[in-house]
Structure formats: structure tokens, C-alpha cells
Amino acid sequence: MTERGLIDPPTVNDERHPSDLAEILERVLDKGIVIAGDIKIDLLDIELLTIRLRLFISSVDTARKAGIDWWETDPALSSRAARDTLAQENADLRTRLHALESRIGAEELSTVGAAEEERRP
Amino acid sequence: MTRAEPPTLTYAFAVCRGDGLTDPAEPLAELPGLGTGAPVRTLAAGPLTAVVQDVPAAGYGEAALRRRLSDGAELERCARAHHAVITAASALAPAVPLPLATVYLDDGRVREALGDRQTSLLTALDRIAGRVEWGVKVYAPTGPPPEAAPAPSDGPGSGRAYLDRVRTRQRGREQRHTLALRAAERVDTVVRGLAVAARRLRPHGVEVTGKHRTHVLNAAYLLDLGRERELRAALASLRHDEADVRIELSGPWVPYSFVDGGITDAGATP
């Protein structure tokens, strides 16, 4: 809990302050009304999630400053097992990313296919 | 290069009603925003006002922005800056948050884009006026269940005893998970009762929650201002009754989850 004070005021047991990085990212990345800007950041929902996960996994120090410190209390992520866990998580994420990418690819193909069918008289 | 100054783009944070956020909005001008040196300012667009900032094209063009947001530290910086401006704007007037990285070529394009969406933006502003969002997360512990002392009858080395133990543990886990899901539903029902709208968000995976707990409810609720005390009282009582799960509250938030039309699932059951 001592680390939390860097950004967050100390909070009650089951209360999360609105400045928690996880909560901010959850809302800022996924929410807000959709108005297309001129600059196209073609980050699909899935990609945003991937970035978010990568942030959590890779940027432990930054996140801890933001009050996210679950790995410190999680025995599976303590120094003893940290390396194995990260490798495993990396592998898992890679597998999931591949699956999602191929699904998106398939969906795009089917959209194109549907559009072509519509064009036909 | 004869250009006197580098080209700038217009980054848009939020949209308010024109009469709600009048120029000059001084508290906004004091914000660093994205830290480009330009002030955070308001931009009138018909009945609406956008909260914007000039950003250098070199740093916020398509490729640069993509690179920026792929970098964890930079993503965090941008998300926090974006969130800070939106929160400050909504303290002055109801504000519809725009997604991270909403960038236009110039002010004229912002006016055009807002003009195209004028009706839905005004509807969204009506929906969130005088209301705030609260986040409620419910977690179930995933650690080993409090284990009863193994029955000594079969002896410690028996294979059957081992299988029994495994089976009992598995059953216990499933049972606890079902109970946690039910507790989450009860929490949801109570908080929904206080809210004008509710929305289930994507539960976090173990990457975020940690392996020692499972996310069984991730929900956002839109509450009228002034119901905070009721909400806290309800949660205190829920925490007392649902001792097996952990209930976390976050907020108040700008109603990020309730500005988009047609997304509220106020009466829906999961």
C-alpha cells in the first residue's frame, strides 16, 4: 500500500480511486461516443485490448505507480515464479492474438463477399 | 520549407452544449492537456462546443499517433491527459467524452464532424446531464478452498483417497464459483435499483485481476447526482451480506459508458 501514495490518495479497502490506471484505460479506450476523426487510428477494439494487456504485463513499474499492485500479493507472480508466468502469459496472449487476427481476417472477407453479392442484380 | 510555423492538427477531447461551456473556459486553459504547449480551448460549433487543443502534425499524424499509442508509457500519458481534460470539462458542464485520439485536420473539420452528429450528441448530453457513472466490480477468490482435514480411513497413501480429494476440491471450486456468480447478480440487482441505466462491461482476465481472484461482475451504473450516499450504504450492506466475494466501487466518473446511444441494458438480464 505504500506505493499507492505516488498518485492516488490512500483509499479505503474496497474502493478504487478514479485515477487507477486500469479503470482509466478501461473507460478511455473503450468508451466515449464514436465520432470519426480525420486521422484514422485503425485500432480495433481487440487491438486496444492487446495494447492494454501488454501495458499491464510489460510496464510493471509504471502501473505500480498508478496503484496497480496485484502481482505483489500474488504468489504466482512473485519473483520465484515470475519468469515462467510471464513466458506462459506471453505464449497465451500470442495464441489468442493469432486466433483473433484470423477471425478478423475472415470477417473482413465475408463482409467483402456480402458487399459483392449486393452489387449483383 | 518556407512555412513560418509547423502545421498543427486539432485534437478533440469532449463536447458540451454551447450555452453550458462559454468561452473563455479558464479552468481548462490551465490544463496541460497533451502537453503540446498549446492551451486547451473551446471551439464553438452551432449549439455545441468542443474542447480541443492544437497538436503538432508531426507528433499526432496517423503514423506518429499509432507509434505513440503502441508504447505503454506513452499510452498511459495520453490516456491520463485525455481523461484529465474530459473530467475538468465535465466539472463545468455536462460533457460527452470523445474516444482517445480523435484528431482533425483543423477547426473547420471539427465543426463539420460535430454538425453531422449534432442530434445524437445533444441526445447524449441530455441523457448524462446531472448524472454520474459509478463502476462496480465483484471478484471471487480463486485460492484453494478451506480444506477439511482428510478422512484418515483410507490411509494417506491410498490412490482412492487422492482421487477423492481431487474430486472434492474440484466440486468445491465449482460450487464456490456458482455462489460467487449468484452473489454478483444480487449486487447487480441492488445497484441497478438505484441507477437510471446500467451496463455490463467486459470482465477482466487474469492478466489484470491476478490469478488469486476471478472477475465475476464488471458493471457501470448511471446514477443521478446526489445518490452517492444511498449507493455507499447499499454497498456497505452488500459487503456485509456477501462476505465471500470482494466488491469494489470506483467513481464518480464522467458517464463514459452511457454517452453512446442504444447501449444501456437497464432491464436486461445477462
Each residue's pLDDT tens digit, B45-91: 999 999 999 999 999 988 888 788 777 778 888 889 999 999 999 99
More confident residue, B138 or B73: B138
Does the beta-carbon distance from B201 to A26 stay under 8 Å?
Answer: yes
More confident residue, B243 or B5: B243
Asked whether residue B25 is assigned to any structural domain, the reply reads yes
Residue numbers of the domain that contains B125 = 8-129
- Would the pTM count as exceeding 0.90? no
Interface probe, candidates B52, B60, B76, chain A, greatest A C-beta count within 10 A:
B76
Q: Does A56 touch chain B (CB under 8 A)?
A: yes
Which residues of chain A are within 8 Å of residue B12 when distances are taken between CB atoms? 35, 37
Q: Does A46 touch chain B (CB under 8 A)?
A: no
What is the structure's pLDDT at A68?
46
Query: How many domains does chain B contain in total?
Result: 2
Q: Angle at CA B122, nearest 5°, toward B121 and B127?
A: 95
Asked whether residue B2 is assigned to any structural domain, the reply reads no
Residues B83, B70 share a domain: yes
pLDDT tens, B67-79?
Answer: 887 777 788 888 8
The lowest-confidence range among B40-49, B119-128, B198-207, B252-261 is: B198-207
Residues B109, B200 share a domain: no
Asked whether residue B241 is assigned to any structural domain, the reply reads yes
Domain-ending residue, one of B129, B153, B169? B129
User: Given B76, B97, B256, which is nearest A21 (Cβ)?
Assistant: B76
User: Given B9, B75, B257, which is nearest A27 (Cβ)?
Assistant: B257
CB B222 within 8 A of CB B196: yes
Query: Rounded to a whole number, what is the distance in Å from the CA of B262 to chain A's nearest CA?
Result: 11
Q: Is the pLDDT of residue B178 over 80?
A: yes
More confident residue, A97 or B19: A97
Where chain A has pLDDT below 50, the residues are 1-13, 45-46, 57-82, 121
Q: How far, in Å, are A10, A65, B80, B213 from residue A19 at the CA level?
A: 12, 11, 8, 22
Residues B250, B183 share a domain: yes
Asked whether residue B104 is assigned to any structural domain, the reply reads yes
Which residues of chain B are within 8 Å of residue A14 when distances are taken between CB atoms? 235, 239, 246-249
Cα A2 to Cα A4: distance, rounded to the nearest angstrom: 6
